[in-house]
């Protein structure tokens, strides 16, 4: 019996130690101090991990818009199971930290989980790529979510490698990252304006 406890101790220790990092520990200064107005616009979700609500989604895009100095809407649209499938829309909303704008929260309802921009590529007047991270502490482990965003529907291989390397540097789990299908996709601006919770009418 004592041997069993000895074997289990390292496993339990690893689980207990698997807690979410702080924003300051993993975010670049450039991302932490982003300009929310410059961050506005369309972001294409080229790859992601553990985003269960988007299972079966293709052509995924977000429309990020500030509604005042700290609050925003982030309208999610995708086509289910094919690039011509019926559009699926979610009315995300959230807020930025006034002192650390990259440290956002975003939600569909009363719960607002982290939605952290941890690194950006581009310059102060135009952001081209964004690495967004969310993490939830569970009882003995954590659940991580990672998004690879681009202003276009593709991310060049070299750029993707750089984004993955940044995440790996902070031990963010990438084994479940999957590409979001974008082949054959077309987007209409009005889809971001005409929406309801769930499928478009």
Beta bridge partner(s), residue 144: 135
- d(CA 171, CA 133) in angstroms, rounded, equals 12
Distance CA 87, CA 197 (A): 11
What's the pLDDT at 110? 62
d(CA 81, CA 59): 10
Fold that domain 23-191 belongs to in CATH: Lipocalin (2.40.128)
pLDDT(4) > 50: no
Per-residue model confidence (pLDDT) at position 153: 96
Contacts of 55 (CB under 8 A, 6+ apart): none
Instruction: Return the pLDDT at 18.
Output: 75
Do 80 and 92 form a contact (C-beta atoms < 8 A)? no
CA angle 114, 119, 123 (to 5 degrees): 130
Residue 76, pLDDT > 50, answer yes
Give me the sign of the Cα torsion angle 188, 189, 193, 197.
Answer: positive
DSSP state of 81: S
Q: Which tokens hold the place of 67?
A: 């509604």
Whether pLDDT at 152 is above 80: yes
The per-residue pLDDT for range 9-38, each reduced to its tens digit, is: 333 334 444 789 999 999 999 999 999 999
pLDDT > 70: percent of the chain: 83
Helical ranges in the chain per DSSP H: 2-16, 23-26, 29-32, 36-39, 157-169
For 101-137, write each residue's pLDDT tens digit. 999 999 866 667 899 999 999 999 999 999 999 998 8
d(CA 21, CA 170): 9
Give the pLDDT confidence score for residue 86 in this predicted structure: 87
Model confidence band, residue 143 (pLDDT cutoffs 50, 70, 90) = confident
Q: What is the structure's pLDDT at 14?
A: 40
- Residue spans of the domains in the chain: they are 23-191
DSSP letter string, 46-79: EEEES-GGGTTEEEEEEEEEESSSSEEEEEEEEE
Max alpha carbon distance in the chain (Å)?
66
């Amino acid at each position: 019996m004592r041997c069993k406890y000895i074997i289990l101790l390292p496993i339990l220790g690893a689980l207990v130690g698997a807690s979410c990092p702080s924003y300051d520990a993993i975010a670049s200064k450039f991302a932490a101090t982003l300009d929310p107005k410059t961050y506005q616009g369309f972001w294409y979700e080229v790859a992601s991990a553990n985003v269960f609500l988007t299972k079966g989604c293709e052509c995924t895009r977000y429309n990020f818009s500030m509604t005042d100095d700290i609050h925003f809407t982030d309208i999610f649209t995708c086509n289910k199971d094919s690039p011509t499938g019926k559009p699926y829309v979610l009315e995300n909303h959230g807020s930025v930290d006034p002192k650390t704008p990259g440290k956002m929260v975003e939600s569909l309802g009363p719960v607002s989980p982290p939605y952290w921009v941890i690194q950006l590529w581009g310059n102060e007047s135009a952001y081209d790529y964004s690495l967004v991270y969310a993490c939830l502490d569970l009882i003995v482990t954590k659940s991580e979510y990672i998004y690879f965003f681009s202003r276009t529907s593709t991310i060049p291989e070299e750029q993707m490698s750089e984004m993955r390397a940044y995440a790996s540097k902070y031990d963010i789990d990438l084994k479940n990252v999957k590409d979001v299908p974008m082949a054959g996709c077309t987007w209409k601006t009005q889809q971001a304006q005409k929406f309801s919770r769930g499928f478009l009418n």
